[in-house]
Amino acid sequence: MTKDLLIRDEDVQVLHGFDTIEHAQAYLSSPLFQNDVFVSLKPLWSSEPEVRIYTVA
């Protein structure tokens, strides 16, 4: 539903907004994410990324 960048001195975070946890989990396991997004960004990493799913009250 949304995508924002959080740019800090120590890192850059991509914040995705989904309407349900299930949709977030589905995106992370989708071919688009696994074979395109994840692979395309890998050369830019200095370490393995942290992927977290959380809810906002």
pLDDT 10s digits, 9-52: 988 888 888 999 999 999 999 998 888 888 888 888 888 888 88
Can you give the pTM of this predicted structure? 0.70
Task: Give, in order, the Cα–Cα distances in Å from 24 to each of 1, 12, 30, 47.
Answer: 10, 19, 10, 23
The answer to whether the CB of 3 falls within 8 A of the CB of 12 is no
From the list 12, 18, 28, the residue with the least C-alpha distance to 54 is: 18
